[in-house]
Amino acid sequence: MKKNEATRINKATIRLVKMDEHKALFERITKKLDEDVNLEIKKTDNIVIYFNDTCPSKDIYYVIFFTGKEYKRTPDKNILPKLLYINGYEFVKDSPWIATYIDELTALKDKYARGPNKKNLAGIMEVYPRPTFKANIAKFLGMNLPLPHLEIALSEDELAATQTLMTLSSGVL
């Protein structure tokens, strides 16, 4: 990386963190981190984000770096880059069936993948059922929401700084 580019990215990073209109958000994140909150960082250019086998809950906060979406044939559909801060409850609150799904999956695990039942299964095959939780974040990208749902449009320099930070931290802050 060239020195001028690194300087530009560093300045954009500092601007991103010090933006006055969003200072409350960063103070809140810092305070939550001090309280040992469960914070997950996601970076995506897709409106569907994956939580893998961890179901979002009210105990988990997500910082989502949406890097934007560019449509070459229909540029009017382009979505600008944004930074979102969302409590996990917001993802599951309108999906009450999730609790039943988790209960049924737990029963499958107990029957086929762990404990005494697993030991009684014949043959050399083994299984372990795992969920893949995912959510469509389009509603968070398309509206101005009050805290704790905050969206921040990023400039090209801020986006580059964000991508550099994510690369350096391997997706974990």
3-state secondary structure 77-130: HCECCEEEEEECHHHHCCCCHHHHHHHHHHHHHHHHCCHHHHHCCCCCCCCCCC
* The predicted structure's pLDDT at residue 61: 92
* The predicted structure's pLDDT at residue 148: 44
* The predicted structure's pLDDT at residue 95: 95
* The predicted structure's pLDDT at residue 29: 59
Q: How far is CA 111 from the centre of its chain?
A: 32
- Residues pairing with 149 in the sheet: none
pTM of the model: 0.61
Residue 64 φ/ψ, nearest 5 degrees: -115, 120
* The predicted structure's pLDDT at residue 79: 83
User: Which helix (H) or strand (E) element contains residue 3?
Assistant: helix 3-18
* The predicted structure's pLDDT at residue 131: 92
* The predicted structure's pLDDT at residue 165: 58
Contact between 146 and 73 under an 8 Å Cβ cutoff? The reply is no
* The predicted structure's pLDDT at residue 26: 58
Question: What is the tally of structural domains in the chain?
Answer: 1
Distance CA 39, CA 89 (A): 13
The tokens of 89 are what? 């409850």
Look at residues 71, 70, 93 and name the one whose alpha carbon lies nearest to residue 140.
Answer: 93
* The predicted structure's pLDDT at residue 166: 57
Q: Write out the residue range of the structural domain in which residue 87 sits.
A: 3-169
* The predicted structure's pLDDT at residue 22: 57
Task: Using 50 as the pLDDT threshold, list the residues of the chain that sit under it.
Answer: 20-21, 143-150, 169-173
Distance CA 125, CA 162 (A): 44
